Amino acid sequence: MIVLRKPMARRTMLRGLGTMIALPFLEAMMPAAKAADLASRPKRLQVFYSPNGMMMEGFQPSAAGGGLTLPPTLEPLAPHRRYVSVISGLGHPSAAAMGDRPAGHGRSCPAFLTGVHVKQTEGTDIRCGISADQVYANHLGDATQLSSLELGIDQPSLLGSCDINYSCAYTNGISWRNATVPMPVTVNPRDVFERLFGDGEALDAKSRLAQLRRQTSMLDFVRDDTARLAGRLGAEDKHKLAEYLEATRDIERRIQRTATSGGGPEANGLERPGGIPDSFDTHVRMMIDLQVLAMQADITRVGSFMIGRELSNRTYPEIGVPDSHHMLSHHGHDPAKIAKLSRINRHHMEYFAYYLDRMAAVKDGEGSLLDRTLVLRGSAFGDPNEHDFMDLPIIVAGGLVKGDRHIVVEKKTSASNLLLAALNVLDVPITTFGDSSGPLAALANA
């Protein structure tokens, strides 16, 4: 006789003393007949964005087709070759000036996920279009606690223009809820953690800092509920729950260390940006881990991560590049500047490899998070010296499409065709997006 069990409610929470913690996607939440079926798992979309273009000679594989060759910039992706496709020839015609002032960043960045030519303005009358990630978030509806999660590293610019006659809203982020509402990018890990795992009550800054200094964990408050739940779970789910709670506690500890280091907000009379690490490496890895944890808990299935805001002037002394990233991007064909810019490009690719590492490490049934995630990685320019928006450095990764290949498309093909095909892979029933002429066949047929 087959015994059918009633699945656990997807929105089951761990509760205790005002604290509520979402659970990871467990086998117990699925009908018994589908619990081990990878195809029945949720599909996810993640976007990884690097600013200021790419030195294409270090990025573009030498040969088209299967058996992906990895040039120097892409070498960090070797462990995930079977998940990775590089697409050459895509561009965004909508990023052309079309009579507007020649300010490439202010048009190319917002076009990256929208395929839309933005309105040239420094004021509040901004106009772009809905981005592909938000189309998917709308398609999912209220399936998750958060519709999407937009994370970054650089603080946004809030006043005036960041590019000639273009509002900073166009370069602060890449996600747009609709034509007039850009999605804000969160850069403080503590803010992200509290958004994902808030303790149920609003704390002022002083109370929150005191709680962090006590090194208390919200997991302590849900210990009894955790024990009760574990008694109802099978061995695989118990292991998955333990991994998830340990990952949550690990990030909590790291945020506590950051928030309590350096003497607190009174040190030297300055207000510390609590939760933002001084180390770029620590900051990036913490934000990536939070994004993956949000997917692991199925708090959201849609996310974007900007390793730098467009026009970023960050320096990278830790890799021997004390120069401004944006200034180096206007390299003027100077070999020394090109070498430094290429070093930054590879450095960012190492973090993208870490992004894939983290997704691949989280089990999802018979596979991993990476197996059920479509990952887009790119920049708004190819060669930044030319502000080249018609030959973009695009990578598609994850188990939802075929990997280990270099796809070469006809020059001037709109990247909107890729975004449309990606949305179709994610089961969004649309036939047009941005300035698309049809879904990119190479992805649609994967």
Bridge partners, residue 397, by sequence = 84, 375
The confidence score (pLDDT) of residue 41 equals 83
Which tokens hold the place of 178? 């609709």
Helices marked H in 123-234? 132-140, 169-172, 189-197, 205-213, 218-221, 223-230
Overall average pLDDT of the 121-133 stretch? 95
Q: Between 204 and 362, where is the model more confident?
A: 362
Q: Are strands 44-49 and 373-378 parallel, antiparallel or unpaired?
A: parallel
Query: Which residue type sits at 350?
Result: E
- Percentage of the chain exceeding pLDDT 90: 62
Most distant pair of Cα atoms in the chain: their distance: 75
pLDDT above 90: residue 442: no
The CA distances from residue 193 to 184, 188, 238, in Å, are: 16, 9, 23
When mean pLDDT is compared across 94-108, 128-142, 241-255, 410-424, the lowest value belongs to 241-255
| Helix or strand run (H / E) with residue 46 | strand 44-49
Helix/strand/coil for 17:
coil
Q: What average pLDDT does this structure show over 375-384? A: 97
How does DSSP assign 19-64, residue by residue?
EEEEPP--GGGS-GGGTT-GGGSPPEEEEEE-SS---GGGTS-SS-
Q: How many CA within 13 A on the CB side of residue 336?
A: 5
Question: Over pLDDT 70: what percentage of the chain?
Answer: 77
Question: Yes or no: is domain 46-187+276-444 CATH 3.30.70?
Answer: no
The predicted pLDDT at position 193 comes to: 86
Confidence of residue 37 (pLDDT cuts 50, 70, 90): low
Cα distance between residue 294 and residue 314, in whole Å: 27
Which tokens in the block code for residue 192? 């992200």
Residue type at position 7: P
Find all residues with CB under 8 Å of 109, minimum gap 6, and list them: 51, 170, 171, 174, 310, 380
How far apart are alpha carbons 223 and 16 in whole angstroms? 8
- Residue 388: closest CA among 337, 330, 439, 437: 330
- Token reading at 95: 């990023």
Q: What is the mean pLDDT of residues 417-427?
A: 98
**342 Rama class: left (phi>0) / alpha (psi -120 to 50) / beta:** alpha
pLDDT of 216 reads 61
User: Cα(245)–Cα(226) distance, rounded to whole angstroms?
Assistant: 10
What is the bridge-based pairing of β-strands 363-364 and 367-368?
Answer: antiparallel
Q: Phi and psi of 266, rounded to 5°? A: -85, -10
Can you tell me the distance from the alpha carbon of 200 to that of 300, in angstroms, rounded to the nearest whole number?
19
Spatial separation of the C-alpha atoms in residues 240 and 182, rounded to whole Å: 35
Residue predicted with more confidence, 296 or 90? 90
pTM beyond 0.75, yes or no: yes
Q: What is the pLDDT of residue 78?
A: 98
The answer, yes or no, to whether residue 272 has pLDDT greater than 50, is no
pLDDT value at position 195? 84
Whole-number Cα distances in Å, 130 to 168, 183, 343: 17, 10, 33
Is pLDDT at 444 greater than 70 in this prediction? no
pLDDT category at 201 given cuts 50, 70, 90 is very low
Rg over alpha carbons for the chain, rounded to the nearest Å, is: 22
pLDDT (average), residues 77-92? 97
Which residue, chain included where needed, has tokens 């809905």?
Answer: 130
Mean residue pLDDT across the chain:
85
Residue closest to 285 by CA, chosen among 314, 250, 239, 320: 250
Question: How confident is the model at residue 205, as a pLDDT?
Answer: 46
Least confident among 39-43, 165-169, 278-282 = 39-43
Cα 408 vs. chain centroid, distance in angstroms? 25
Every domain of the chain and the residues it spans: 46-187+276-444
Nearest to 70 by CA among 83, 325, 333: 83
pLDDT single digits (tens) 316-354: 999 999 999 999 999 999 999 999 999 999 999 999 999
Average pLDDT estimate for 96-115: 91
pLDDT of residue 261: 55
Residue 350: how many other CB atoms lie within 10 Å: 16
DSSP SS3 for 407 = strand
Contact 306, 173 (CB under 8 A): yes
In this predicted structure, the answer to whether residue 375 has a pLDDT above a threshold of 60 is yes
Q: Is 268's pLDDT higher than 80?
A: no
pLDDT band (50, 70, 90) for residue 196: confident
Over 50: is that where the pLDDT of 200 sits?
Answer: no
pLDDT per position as a tens digit, 206-228: 444 555 554 566 666 566 666 77
Report phi then psi at 416, rounded to 5. Answer: -65, -30
HSE, CB side, 13 Å, CA atoms: give it for residue 270: 7
For residues 361 and 34, the answer to whether their CB atoms sit within 8 Å is no
Q: Which two tokens stand for residue 134?
A: 């938000």
Q: Has residue 385 got a pLDDT over 80?
A: yes
Q: Partners of 88 in the beta sheet?
A: 408
Sign for the CA dihedral angle at 222, 223, 228, 232 comes to: positive
Number of other CB atoms surrounding residue 78 within 10 Å: 11
Lowest mean pLDDT among 158-167, 374-383, 403-412: 158-167
Mean pLDDT of 374-393: 96
> In whole angstroms, how far apart are CA 435 and each of 37, 91, 203, 383?
37, 11, 46, 22
Distance set, CA 294 to CA 46, 184, 288 (Å): 12, 17, 10
